[in-house]
């Protein structure tokens, strides 16, 4: 919680509770499996099987297995037409609604970067090769970024308006942050938020061609890091005015208390080496939460394991927080799920607060001389956590940070 003592919060703003959550990612299906993987420091990055990577440097990614993902699709209306991203959204939303069936959202805010990208690939590949276009209506209809969200909402009869935020790799965090501000402002009582992205060949090959992806292990903040690996997933958080949630007896899993954004305007694919963008986003999140840097107990870093990103973020964290706060990137375990990353990592922070442990930064061997950080290296460990910070930074210098706190009545 912030320093405010009443449920309305400081300056007449409402406090914002997380009352339900759902997730699907390479770490597992649901909160329980995700928690188990985090505690076990499980490496969930595997060889890519969905398309050929023979000509790519990188041959691995964090993947959600189709055999499990599609096992329950027969329960959906016309499931064969849904993109697999829609099935991820449906599974994540189903888990959240099981926790709180009475949650009735007034708005949905979801972050993503690619939508049904692989259906677009199928369409243009068939068009170019003069192939069979009989499935083109399905491909085109399921290509837009909002379609997986609409499919998930329709599956559960939810009619709340949908907003999609596409702001590079900060999309998921921006979506949750926007939803947080919608509730805190008093304009809405209940908002669904989160993010999704599904692995696609075009995006995979694009990152590989930029030489941002690694042919080795993903090693965030390691001195010898050589790049990122991609991932996929979906995560949903149900946000509600704290007073309203408690009045109806809803479970309060945690509070979101701060959100900050900034833009570097330095380079399309590289952050400002000074770390000014990430630092401003973290400072604004702390100011939003009415907290000082020394109150943060854990930072879930963006930590892509690319040389430039980790250097800039590490510099910003070091200058703002010093070496005391534990820092880790769970992308080491599941890859970078782009628009979904901030939402999935918000779930990681939620689990860390609920179960009082530090998620691990695996594959870490040697500290970077230019970033003096307290890395949660290779193993999870118990900790007393009250306040955590989650970072998401993307192409174009877009930066976003969230503050989440343990709920104390």
* Catalytic residue set: 169, 302, 336
Phi, then psi, of 116 in degrees rounded to 5: -95, 55
Q: Would you state the torsion angle of the CA atoms of residues 12, 18, 20, 21, taken in this order, to the nearest 10 degrees?
A: 140
Alpha-carbon distance values, 227 to 6, 119, 230, 261, 274 (Å): 45, 28, 10, 25, 20
Phi-psi bin for 37: left (phi > 0), alpha (psi -120 to 50), beta? alpha
First to last CA, the chain: 9
Phi, then psi, of 119 in degrees rounded to 5: -70, -35
Q: Label the pairing between strands 357-358 and 381-382.
A: antiparallel
- What's the chain's length in residues? 409
Alpha-carbon distance values, 362 to 9, 119, 274 (Å): 38, 34, 26
> Residues 260, 400: contact at Cβ < 8 Å?
yes
Phi, then psi, of 244 in degrees rounded to 5: -65, -40
**Smallest Cα–Cα separation from 296: which of 409, 403, 173, 379?**
403
**Cross-strand bridge partners of residue 110:** 164, 194
DSSP secondary structure string, 24-55? EETTEESHHHHHHHHHTT---EEE--SS--TT
DSSP secondary structure string, 152-176? HHHHTT----EEEE-BTBTHHHHHH
Cβ burial, residue 129 (10 Å; 0-12/13-18/19+): exposed
> Residues 246, 7: contact at Cβ < 8 Å?
yes
């Amino acid at each position: 919680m912030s320093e405010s003592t009443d449920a309305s919060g400081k300056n007449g703003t409402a406090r914002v509770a997380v009352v339900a959550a759902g997730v699907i990612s390479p770490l597992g299906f649901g909160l329980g499996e995700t928690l188990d993987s985090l505690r076990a420091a499980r490496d969930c990055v595997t060889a890519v099987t969905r398309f050929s990577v023979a000509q790519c440097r990188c041959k691995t990614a964090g993947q959600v297995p189709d055999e499990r993902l599609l096992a329950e699709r027969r329960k959906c209306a016309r499931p064969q037409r849904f993109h697999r991203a829609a099935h991820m959204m449906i599974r994540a939303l189903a888990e959240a609604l099981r926790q709180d069936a009475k949650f009735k959202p007034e708005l949905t805010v979801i972050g993503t970067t690619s939508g049904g990208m692989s259906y677009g690939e199928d369409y243009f590949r068939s068009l170019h090769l003069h192939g069979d276009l009989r499935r083109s209506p399905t491909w085109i209809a399921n290509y837009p970024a909002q379609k997986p969200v609409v499919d998930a909402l329709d599956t559960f009869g939810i009619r709340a308006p949908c907003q999609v935020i596409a702001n590079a790799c900060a999309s998921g965090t921006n979506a949750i942050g926007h939803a947080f501000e919608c509730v805190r402002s008093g304009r809405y009582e209940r908002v669904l938020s989160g993010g999704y992205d599904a692995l696609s060949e075009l995006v995979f090959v694009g990152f590989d061609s930029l030489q941002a992806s690694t042919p080795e292990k993903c090693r965030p903040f390691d001195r010898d890091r050589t790049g990122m690996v991609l991932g996929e997933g979906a995560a949903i958080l149900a946000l509600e005015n704290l007073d309203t949630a408690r009045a109806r007896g809803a479970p309060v899993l945690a509070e979101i208390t701060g959100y900050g954004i900034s833009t570097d305007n330095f380079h399309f694919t590289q952050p400002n080496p000074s770390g000014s963008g990430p630092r401003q986003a973290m400072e604004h999140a702390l100011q939003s939460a009415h907290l000082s840097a020394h109150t943060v107990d854990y930072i879930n870093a963006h930590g892509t394991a690319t040389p430039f990103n980790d250097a800039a973020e590490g510099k910003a964290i070091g200058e703002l927080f010093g070496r005391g706060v534990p820092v880790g990137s769970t992308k080491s375990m599941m890859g970078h799920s782009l628009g979904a990353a901030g939402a999935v990592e918000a779930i990681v922070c939620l689990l860390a607060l609920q179960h009082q442990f530090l998620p691990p930064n695996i594959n870490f061997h040697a500290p970077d001389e230019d970033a003096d950080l307290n890395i949660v290296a290779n193993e999870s460990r118990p900790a007393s956590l009250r306040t955590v910070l989650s970072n998401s930074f993307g192409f174009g210098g877009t930066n976003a940070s969230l503050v989440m706190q343990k709920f104390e009545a």
